[in-house]
Amino acid sequence: MMMMMMMMMSFVMRHVPTVPVKNLNGSSPVHPALAGITGILMSAAALPVCLTRPPKLVLHPPPVSKSDIKPVPGFGHCCRKTTKKQVRKGKTPEEVVKKYLQKVKSPPEEDCTICMEPLGGPSGYKGPGVGPVSRAESVGRLAQCGHQYHFQCLVAMYNNGNKDGSLQCPTCKTIYGVKTGNQPAGKMEYHVIPHSLPGHPDCKTIRIIYNIPPGIQGLEHPNPGKPFTARGFPRHCYLPDSDKGRKVLRLLLVAWDRRLIFSVGTSSTTGESDTVIWNEVHHKTEFGSNLTGHGFPDPGHLDNVLEELRAQGITEDDGLMEK
């Protein structure tokens, strides 16, 4: 009798359905609520349930000795520092804006998308810092993209930014000049480690280490003179050590020099204000898994980063100049 019961149990266990448990980023095909309900119903029907273990989060690579850390091929350096913003002098906001504008004799019958007032009438901007202009200069056309705005509105928009000599069209985001950000001073290190990323088995890995300390906000930040925090530093990020991965690294160095990788603002994850945050250029911070969505494999990641850098005014031509 006992032998028969054991044989029956063995048969049942070989046919136990496996219900996978979905991890946080949704990589499993079964929704956690569905898995839970399925388990409850199967248990109520006296059917055995076997739940698989969720995948393990792997944020960092295995330990690496100093002798195994190598320079990135083609790079004659391994770190980059930034200091406080260099203030560009010599041109007034009006002079900067005029540099990128063409005169408009007859404004079209449409609204200025900055102040939402007709282009044929006066600017709706009433704030400080913008002086009167002649009617001939009241409306201008941005030379490259052709969008038209009140001159006073563009000057007000420029005054509200970094005042770095660049201008960005508010409609199509075309950048005129060289755009810079308000990233605080810090250090960027980069080197090759002898491990491969998921999805890139044929190459080693570029590890980037960003380190920004807390400090006091400057004039280009949201609250000048007020302290800012810097949570989660140093931050480790990863790229495949491939031709395309090195191309992305070169452009990230340009973005770092232009202070565009980080910013000071309000964290979208914690809600904390006056803190260092990412600035619209996505990085992979998860080394050996992809549970958070910030890891590999991700076939489109490198192309997405190149597009995000292009939106910041950084192109492959800038990478060719990076040594």
In the chain, domain spans: 70-83+182-321, 101-127+135-176
Question: pLDDT > 70: what percent of the chain?
Answer: 78
pLDDT at position 30: 46
Q: Looking at per-residue confidence, does 32 or 316 come out higher? A: 316
62-82 pLDDT, tens per residue?
Answer: 999 999 999 999 998 899 998
Give 186: exposed, middle or buried? Use CB within 10 Å, 0-12, 13-18, 19+: buried
Q: What's the mean pLDDT in 147-154? A: 95
CA distances to 11, 80, 189 from 77, in Å = 63, 8, 9
Within 10 A of 49 (CB to CB), how many other CB atoms are there? 15
Query: In angstroms, rounded to a whole number, what is the distance separating the alpha carbons of residues 213 and 276?
Result: 9
Report residue 192's pLDDT band, with 50, 70 and 90 as the boundaries.
very high
Report residue 137's pLDDT band, with 50, 70 and 90 as the boundaries.
confident
Superfamily of domain 101-127+135-176: Zinc/RING finger domain, C3HC4 (zinc finger) (3.30.40.10)
H/E stretch holding 216 reads strand 215-216
The yes-or-no verdict on residue 39 having pLDDT over 60 is no
- Residue type for position 276: V
pLDDT at position 319: 73
The yes-or-no verdict on residue 48 having pLDDT over 70 is no
8-24 pLDDT, tens per residue?
Answer: 555 444 544 444 444 44
pLDDT at position 139: 95
Report residue 311's pLDDT band, with 50, 70 and 90 as the boundaries.
very high
Considering the entire predicted model, what is its pTM? 0.77
The yes-or-no verdict on residue 2 having pLDDT over 80 is no
Report residue 127's pLDDT band, with 50, 70 and 90 as the boundaries.
confident
Within 10 A of 234 (CB to CB), how many other CB atoms are there? 13
pLDDT at position 51: 56
Sheet holding 235-240, edge to edge: 79-82, 186-193, 205-211, 235-240
DSSP letter, residue 258 = T
237-290 pLDDT, tens per residue?
Answer: 999 999 999 999 999 999 999 999 999 999 999 999 999 999 999 999 999 999
74-76-82-83 Cα dihedral, nearest 10 degrees: -160
pLDDT at position 130: 67
pLDDT at position 21: 42
The yes-or-no verdict on residue 155 having pLDDT over 50 is yes
* In this structure, CATH architecture of domain 70-83+182-321: 2-Layer Sandwich (3.30)
pLDDT at position 19: 45
DSSP letter, residue 113 = T
pLDDT at position 320: 74
pLDDT at position 74: 94
Mean pLDDT of the chain: 85
Indicate the range of 30-34, 95-99, 151-155 predicted with least confidence. Answer: 30-34
The yes-or-no verdict on residue 193 having pLDDT over 90 is yes
The yes-or-no verdict on residue 121 having pLDDT over 70 is yes
